[in-house]
A = this chain, B = another copy of it.
Amino acid sequence: MRLSRYFLPVLKETPSDAQIASHRLMLRAGMIRQQAAGIYSWLPLGFRVLEKLQRIVHEEQQRAGHIPVLMPTLQPAELWRESGRFDAYGKELLRIRDRHDRDMLYGPTNEEMITDIFRSGVSSYKSLPMTLYHIQWKFRDEVRPRFGVMRGREFLMKDGYNFDLTYEDSMHAYNRHMASYLRTYERMGLKAIPMRADSGPIGGDDTHEFLVLADTGESEVFYDSAVTELTLGDRAVDYDDRAQLEAIKAEWTTPYARTDETHDAALFEQIPEDRRKVGRGIEVGQIFYFGIKYSEPMGAMVADETGAKVPVHMGSHGIGVSRLVGALIEAHHDDKGIKWPEAVAPFGAGIVNLKVGDPDVDAACAQIYAALSAAGVDPLLDDRDERAGQKFATMELIGLPWRITVGPRGLKNGVVELTCRATGESEELSAEAACLKLAGIFAGL
């Protein structure tokens, strides 16, 4: 993309009402615009990041064998009356009346609707196991929306639902979700720790939240630092291999890691003192086994091997996609702006033309632009007639992982400058070498 033809409304001033770094930086970098309390437009730069996150979530869900669908944002009240939640849910549920005075709601979650889809289409255990998911906009009418997209009212979420014949099968689905979530966050450049969560009135241990460590997190977290060393890395995960998934769960959930809701001081004290950590975390996902809570009242039954009708075991599993954009920035920024990990950066590299109008510099920029585009690096070329200082400041603010600076002096010596946003380090090398280096970095993504 050429910046002269793009829409990147960066702000010079820091917005006074934004309390946390990610909110400030998303406004300043022209990623979002607030349209109402907790409701945002995603401007071009922000939309690009949101799209990259969605793609990663889709890929990892489908790799785990989960099937994408798309449910509508509005739901009829009848479905929620079947589960009892239409009245039980608090004011966070946005209730709507249509022109025929029918009660509807803007879905904050989809357990009822997916159960309805399941019961209408599946009647035998032979169709199981099955996990359906979608990525769709949700609404929760928060009394006090804040922190930008981190606690908005209209938010994008991936929610998935497993349907299984037995508790054991449902636990395999639970573990599939845990492993696929770990991969998802790792690919995005995030370390998210599964922490035992509060399952509320349903009971059982079978829910974990995934938290990203950040000073601005809404939850206090207590953990064994050993858990932060874990990584899936390149290991091959076979999502049909129950033993492997069970082992992955054990690896991640054996070290102590809990939020204040489930914290157990006595257990925490047993960790060696140098590994005992207290911090704050941002919740970016949750997995939850809830058994027959919806399938029984809503009649989602299948015939088992003996022909008997039994309610299916279910769980629901969510990733906060729009919230992740904020969490990523909380985890990756400095005074000057955002520092995107390569896999989720809106553009892979910025090209700064230091002398727009100089035929050699313009030609070199065009060549680099073409080479990076061909290599899938997806560059943003700053071809505006602005001061170098302003161009650098913009690039640092929007946080592209790499910058290639092209000026007449360097070109005379056959070099351009390649700067890494994460480390701040620069090197001089030929344009060809710079492009080759970036092509190599982005080839694996």
**Residues of chain A having any CB pair with chain B under 8 Å:** 5-7, 9, 30, 33, 35-37, 39-44, 47, 50, 65, 67-76, 79, 91-92, 94, 96, 98-99, 102, 104, 106, 113, 116-117, 120-122, 127, 130, 132, 134, 137, 139, 141, 143, 153-154
Q: Which of A37, A43, A44 has the most CB of B within 10 A?
A: A43
Assembly stoichiometry (copies) = 2
* Distance between A366 CB and nearest chain B CB, rounded to angstroms: 16
Chain B residues with CB below 8 A from A35, complex form: 71-72, 75-76, 79, 113, 116
A7 touches B132 (CB 8 A): yes
List 26 A-B pairs, Cβ < 8 Å. Answer: A5-B65, A7-B122, A7-B132, A9-B120, A33-B116, A33-B117, A33-B120, A35-B76, A35-B116, A36-B74, A36-B75, A39-B72, A39-B76, A40-B72, A41-B72, A41-B113, A44-B67, A44-B68, A72-B154, A73-B73, A73-B137, A74-B139, A74-B153, A94-B98, A94-B99, A98-B141
Please indicate the chain B residues that have their CB under 8 angstroms from the CB of A143 in the complex: 99
In the bound complex, do residue B154 and residue A99 qualify as a contact, i.e. CB atoms below 8 Å apart? Answer: no
- B47 in contact with A68 (CB, 8 Å): yes
**B7, A154: Cβ atoms under 8 Å?**
no
- Cα distance A332–B284 when bound, in Å? 43
User: In angstroms, how far is the closest chain B Cβ from the Cβ of A143?
Assistant: 7
By the criterion CB–CB under 8 Å, are A67 and B116 in contact?
no
- With a cutoff of 8 Å between Cβ atoms, the chain B residues found around residue A6 in the complex are 67
Contacts of A68 in B (CB 8 A): 44, 47
Given A9-B121, A67-B44, answer yes or no on A94-B96 (Cβ-Cβ < 8 Å): yes
